[in-house]
Amino acid sequence: MKLTGIPVSQGMVLDKSYILTAIPEFEMEEKSDTPAEVSIALIDRAVHQVLGELKTSKLRMAGNTDHIALIQVQEAMLDDACFREDIIRNVKLGYSPEAAVMRAAKAQEEMLASLGDPYMVARAEDMHDISCRLACCIADKNYPDICGMNDPAIVVAQDLLPSMLISVDDSKVKGIIIERGTKTSHVSILAASIGIPMIVSCAGAMNIKDGTMVFLDSDKGEVYSDLNDDEHKRFMEIAASFSEEKAKLKDLAACEALSADGERMIVSANIVEPMGLSKVIENGMDGVGLFRTEFMYMNRKKLPTEEEQYTVYRLAAEKLAGKPIIIRTMDIGGDKTVECLDLQHEDNPFMGYRAIRICLDHKHIMLTQLRAILRASAYGNVWVMFPMIATAKELKAVLDMLSEVKAELKEQCVPFDAHIKVGIMVEIPSAVVMLDVLIKHLDFVSIGSNDLIQYTFAADRLNKNVGYLYNYMDPAVLRLIKHTINIAYRAGVECSICGEMAGEALGMAALVALGLKKFSISPSLGLMAKKRMSLLNAGKLAEVGTMMLEVENADEATEVLKAALPPKYS
């Protein structure tokens, strides 16, 4: 039997299946005659119990910072006063304890799911996860758990939530097949960061029999079960070959990223929160090229304090031990209200009130974050980056705020890096056009290819109806990128890219052909990126880069590039 799904992280593995039971469902309209004080006491006992379980998991995972960071997120959600207030309100409206919890969680989930950034949307899954676990505890129902795995196996589930994955020894989970799920869910991001082969949206996955041999090819998004002897032998050979290649990749962790002709390339990481740092270090990456700080603002009624932000930024800087960490200031859109920001709904949020535009109107948000970033700069190689800069006037405004904060800290004798490097995301066509003006005030620029592509074609990257326009190989996009690189290099300013384009084989080759030497990608792709770099002759590809800019469409540009790539490049 062959099934197909969406690949999340690369891998080929042959092993027995471990079928995970479905997550219990709770009726959110269920009422109860139980006195409110009794229901609240029951809920509080359940919260205490789940917090205890999380604490035990944290102790068991000592040293695994990725897992510990995720546990801390869920602890914070359980301890959130707003979440508890909403639960109590539902109880007083006559809902059962389980329904009260699920209703309060749903309100938070809907808010998180409405956000434009897919990485932040994944926070909704964390809320659903912890609320299901809490409701199971209240109802005395078993919460699906893969801790019962005695032997290594490929986990097959209808859905999988983050706490299920953090509760088990990674070495036992050889692969994951999810019948539902999305590529950008939190559990998918976690699996990718750990390096577990995974496929989501795999229809029919729950028809796989427990304990049978399964071959998972998460490169192609394919699953094979009910294997005959010939298939078993063939897939065993394929899996063994992949394991050998994976072992060879690990040797690259201690190596610099070099092109085939000896050009030094910089391969840094995009991280959503500090949990991604372990993989950055493990894969020998050159630092963090994009630290998204939006998670600090999610799921809360009050803005994060300076001290909260400073603590996170300092820990990250210290852990990188001198390697650069580029902290991007808050980049949240106005499509729906983010509770602590009190934003209004907009009909066209990606073209509206977001990121730097919010901070220019609400200076206290930016000033607080800049103080935290500057204070953390005393403990590592911290750089600061501003998103969504469209005009020179906006850049001057944020630089004035940075100077203001520097003056305050100096007067207060608070240590910070007075020469902290400053940069912007180049993701709006106007910034590309005016870059020769903007560049005079910058130490670096980072191309945000995801937004640059959608703004170039006026095509929402989340809208399937205009998806055909979203193509980084189109000459219009390539020309904008090349112009950005040229302006930066002429000014002696560092230039990198932190969009998804850099993480794909074809995209990376195109960027090298255009002359780029600095990339920021998912931590799990660090070793593969080094391997790809070693196959590319940067000098010879430069000629191809010129040709790519002269063709008429993306298909022609792709054809020109592929013809110049080495046979083993993928």
| Distance of alpha carbon 437 from alpha carbon 439, whole angstroms | 6
Angle at 412 between CA 407 and CA 413, to 5 degrees: 95
User: Of 28-42, 385-399, 405-419, which range is least confident?
Assistant: 28-42
What's 220's domain CATH number? 3.50.30.10
Q: Tell me the average pLDDT of the chain.
A: 88
**Are residues 64 and 77 located together in one domain of the fold?**
yes
Beta carbons of 267 and 502 less than 8 angstroms apart: no
Nearest Cα to 497, choosing from 524, 478, 470? 478
569 and 437 within one domain: yes
Q: Report pLDDT digits (tens) over 459-488.
A: 876 676 877 888 999 999 999 999 999 999
Is 320 in the same domain as 184?
no
CA atoms within 13 A on the CB side of 146: 30
Mean local confidence (pLDDT), 288-304: 81
Whether residue 270 lies inside any domain: the answer is no
With 70 as the cut, is the pLDDT of residue 283 above it?
Answer: yes
Q: Is the pLDDT of residue 256 over 90?
A: yes
Cβ contacts of residue 110 below 8 Å, gap of 6+? 124
14, 155: one domain? yes
d(Cα 174, Cα 11) in Å, to the nearest integer?
A: 9
Asked, for residue 63, whether it belongs to a domain, the answer is yes
Q: Do 432 and 417 share a structural domain?
A: no
| pLDDT-based confidence at residue 76 (cuts at 50, 70, 90) | confident
Residue 175, helix vs strand vs coil: strand
Rounded Cα–Cα distance for residues 344 and 338 (Å): 9
Answer whether residue 412 is part of any domain: yes
Dihedral (Cα; 68, 73, 78, 80), 10-degree rounding: 140
Which of 312, 350, 305 lies closest to 331 in space, CA to CA? 350
Instruction: State the pLDDT confidence band at 524, using cuts at 50, 70 and 90.
Output: confident
Please indicate, yes or no, whether residues 460 and 536 belong to a single structural domain of this protein: yes
CA atoms within 13 A on the CB side of 196: 26
Residue entry with tokens 């099934």: 3
Q: Looking at 367, 390, 424, which one is the last position of a domain?
A: 424
Residues 462 and 397 in one domain: no
Does 512 lie in the same domain as 431? yes
Active-site annotation holder among 132, 136, 495, 498: 498
Same domain, 443 and 418: no
Closest by CA to 516, choosing from 445, 565, 454, is 445
Does 499 share its domain with 551? yes
Terminal C-alpha separation, the chain: 28
**pTM for this entry:** 0.72
**Is residue 238 domain-resident?**
no
Asked which of 139, 169, 188 is the last residue of a domain, the reply is 139
Q: Please check the confidence at residue 202 and state whether its pLDDT lies above 50.
A: yes
Q: Is the pLDDT of residue 161 over 80?
A: no
Helix (H, G, I), strand (E, B) or coil at 185: coil
Average pLDDT (529-557) is 96
The yes-or-no verdict on residue 203 having pLDDT over 70 is yes
Quote the pLDDT of residue 110.
77
pLDDT digits (tens, 9 = 90+) for 315-329: 999 999 999 999 999
Of 128, 132, 186, 359, which is the active-site residue? 186
Over 70: is that where the pLDDT of 299 sits? no
pLDDT at 462: 61
Over 90: is that where the pLDDT of 531 sits?
yes
* pLDDT value of position 273: 74
Six token digits for residue 174: 């050889």
Residues 444 and 563 in one domain: yes
Residue 114, pLDDT score? 62
Phi, psi of 213 (to 5 degrees): -75, 135
Q: How confident is the model at residue 75 (pLDDT cuts 50, 70, 90)?
A: confident
Among 42-51, 126-135, 176-185, 357-366, name the one with the lowest average pLDDT: 176-185
| 530: number of Cβ within 10 Å | 22
Q: Which of 82, 116, 139 is the last residue of a domain?
A: 139
Per-residue burial over 548-566, b = 16 or more CB atoms within 10 Å of its CB, e = otherwise: bbebeebeebbebbeebbe
186 is catalytic: yes
**340 included as an active-site residue:** no
Compute the distance between CA of residue 569 and CA of residue 555 in angstroms, rounded to an integer.
19
Q: Among the listed ranges 149-158, 211-220, 282-291, which one has the minimum average pLDDT value?
A: 149-158
pLDDT tens-place string over residues 120-134: 566 677 788 889 889
Residues 523 and 540 occupy one common structural domain: yes
Q: What is the pLDDT of residue 340?
A: 65
Residue 216 contacts residue 191 (beta carbons within 8 Å): no
- Domain boundaries, position 55: 36-139
Instruction: Specify if 172 maps to a domain.
Output: yes
DSSP SS3 for 21: coil
- Cα separation, 402 vs 345, in Å, equals 29
Binning the chain into helix, strand and coil, the percentages to the nearest 5 are: 50, 15, 35
Pick the more confident residue, 254 or 58. Answer: 254
Q: For the segment 318-368, what is each residue's pLDDT rounded down to a tens digit?
A: 999 999 999 999 887 644 346 666 666 666 666 666 778 888 888 999 999
Residue 264: count of CB within 10 angstroms of its CB: 13
Number of domains in the chain: 4
